[in-house]
Structure 1
Amino acid sequence: MFSFFFFRKSYCGEKMTLYHFVNCLALGYTPYFLTYKYSGMSEYGVFWKCVQAGIGYVLTQLVKMLLLATFFPSMEGHTGGSSFDFFGEFLRTTVDLGDLLGIYLILSHIGGKNDMRLMAVAVGWSMAEFVLTKLLPLWVGARGLEFDWKHMQSALDSNVALVANLASVALVWMWSRNDLTGGLVPLVLLLLLTSAYKPLIVNLTSHALELGNWHTFFVKTSLVFSLALLSFQVYIGLAGKIGN
């Protein structure tokens, strides 16, 4: 009787943790699927472009890891538990400028209609980021015996990353154009730098205000959506002029 009860409890526990993993996976993956299916990307056959962007993401992260290991070794041992190493964080975040360079190189080697090309790069880049940085922790953590909200937050964070990458791709495309007017140059540059140094801004704000995980997530989400709104407005205006 005791064996049956223990087996039933273990089975139900495994079943619930599996449901939790599936829910987190669906929450993180569904926006990518919906974006691909209902944005017209599936009709233009840009799947291979998404794969190319994903490969570009992997190569970019490998180069960044090499740079970090070579020139910016970990400084965790030199900081206290509650102190914020601004200089170390600044150096590490500066390496994220490599993401913008990687996106630029991918855009340079992928042809097609502008809107679909930018969408393909953003979705492919974001999907590769989700698989490499979110999927394994979800598989290991969300299937644990105890429910933890951090896995839901991780899944939601992948949605925010998609919006952030869409904005970054649009900004890189605008910056690479020769017909970018003088008035827009400083604005696009400011948005590009904000996009690259976003982790530093969020971490600094979180440390200064002593925010918890969810409050930090809301700060990051607000910054990403504000940045994306401005970027898309500039992009729509520039794309409209090109169309005319």
Structure 2
Amino acid sequence: MTLYHFGNCLALVYAPYHMAYKFSGISEYATFSKCVYAGGLYIFTQLCKMLLLATFFPDSDNIHSGGDNNVFLEILKATVDLADLLGIYIALNSIPGKGHAKILTAAIGWASAEVLVSRSVLLWVGARGSEFDWRYVRACAESNVALLQHAATAALVWLCARSDLPRHLLPRAAGLLLLVPYRALLEDAIAHALGLSAWALLWMRAAHAAGVGLAALALYAAHQQQ
């Protein structure tokens, strides 16, 4: 039963990534090495973010100041996630091919590295336990939401970096892109205000990712029609 639960969790995490790579068509462009490169950029970016957080917020966990100061501190810490946008931009520029191939390759490589770093140890240590626990299934489902989020983010970065993007589309793409670093902060604040459970928070994150993804897809389609 333990092995069966562990295998189900692995399939739930990694099967959607494999299917996205295999059936999206980017495998025909021999982009596996570029996916690995995007994953390497993710790891490098996270190390840089950790260095920034340790340098400018060394005692942030021990602060006992008022609520307003804590909120401002969390916003500043979330602003560090702008480095992710820079990392995705560098990954997009290193990938040859058409726009959709660049976006999907960067998103799959970036999201795959995030899953390997943040989920592998959790599953190996926790999902192999003797008792079934829904939190591991929830963590696996969150990785699929992350893939959609990163695909939308990569599309928005690609759109904002285009010099031929129509002016009426730029404010929409830029507005959505600037909200990306604060996505988790906003979702957690809403969940706390509404008293949402962990599963309800997951559904809210999935709906949010789907909404941003559809908006990015609409902007990409409008750009391609120009």
Pairs within 5 Å for 1:44-193: 44-79=29-64, 85-193=70-178
Aligned equivalent of 1:236, options 204, 221, 224 = 221
RMSD: 1.8
Q: Per-residue displacement from partner, 1:134-167 (whole Å, max 9, x unpaired)?
A: 1111111111122211110111011000100100
Q: How much identity, in percent, do the aligned residues show?
A: 45
In the alignment, the residues of structure 1 paired with residue 69 and residue 30 of structure 2 have an alpha-carbon distance, to the nearest angstrom, of 47
Alpha carbons of structure 1 residues 188 and 210: separation in structure 2 relative to 1, 3 Å: same
2:105 aligned partner, one-letter code: A
Other-structure match for 1:10: none
TM-superposed deviation, 1:79: 5.0
In the alignment, the residues of structure 2 paired with residue 203 and residue 30 of structure 1 have an alpha-carbon distance, to the nearest angstrom, of 28
Q: Per-residue displacement from partner, 1:85-110 (whole Å, max 9, x unpaired)?
A: 32222122111111001101111222
Alpha carbons of structure 1 residues 208 and 114: separation in structure 2 relative to 1, 3 Å: same
TM-score, structure 1 normalization: 0.87
2:145 aligned partner, one-letter code: V
In the alignment, the residues of structure 2 paired with residue 84 and residue 205 of structure 1 have an alpha-carbon distance, to the nearest angstrom, of 19
Structure with larger Rg = 1
Ranges in structure 2 where 5+ consecutive residues have no aligned partner: none
TM-score, structure 2 normalization: 0.94
TM-superposed deviation, 1:73: 2.8
* Residue pair 2:107, 2:147 contacting (<8 A) in 1 also: yes
TM-superposed deviation, 1:78: 2.7
1:111 aligned partner, one-letter code: P
Other-structure match for 1:13: none
* Residue pair 1:72, 1:91 contacting (<8 A) in 2 also: no
* Residue pair 1:60, 1:99 contacting (<8 A) in 2 also: yes
Q: Per-residue displacement from partner, 1:112-135 (whole Å, max 9, x unpaired)?
A: 222212111111111101100111
In the alignment, the residues of structure 2 paired with residue 85 and residue 20 of structure 1 have an alpha-carbon distance, to the nearest angstrom, of 39
In the alignment, the residues of structure 1 paired with residue 225 and residue 74 of structure 2 have an alpha-carbon distance, to the nearest angstrom, of 38
* Larger mean Cα displacement after TM superposition, 207-216 or 31-40: 207-216
Count matched residues. 225
Other-structure match for 1:20: 5
* Larger mean Cα displacement after TM superposition, 126-135 or 180-189: 180-189
Q: Per-residue displacement from partner, 1:12-69 (whole Å, max 9, x unpaired)?
A: xxxx122111101100111111111111122221111111111111111111111111
Aligned equivalent of 2:211, options 212, 226, 230 = 226
1:196 aligns with 2:181: yes
In the alignment, the residues of structure 2 paired with residue 156 and residue 49 of structure 1 have an alpha-carbon distance, to the nearest angstrom, of 25
TM-superposed deviation, 1:201: 0.7
Ranges in structure 1 where 5+ consecutive residues have no aligned partner: 1-15
Please give the secondary structure, in 1, of the residue aligned with 2:225: helix
Please give the secondary structure, in 2, of the residue aligned with 1:112: coil
* Residue pair 1:84, 1:207 contacting (<8 A) in 2 also: no
TM-superposed deviation, 1:214: 1.0
In the alignment, the residues of structure 1 paired with residue 61 and residue 195 of structure 2 have an alpha-carbon distance, to the nearest angstrom, of 19
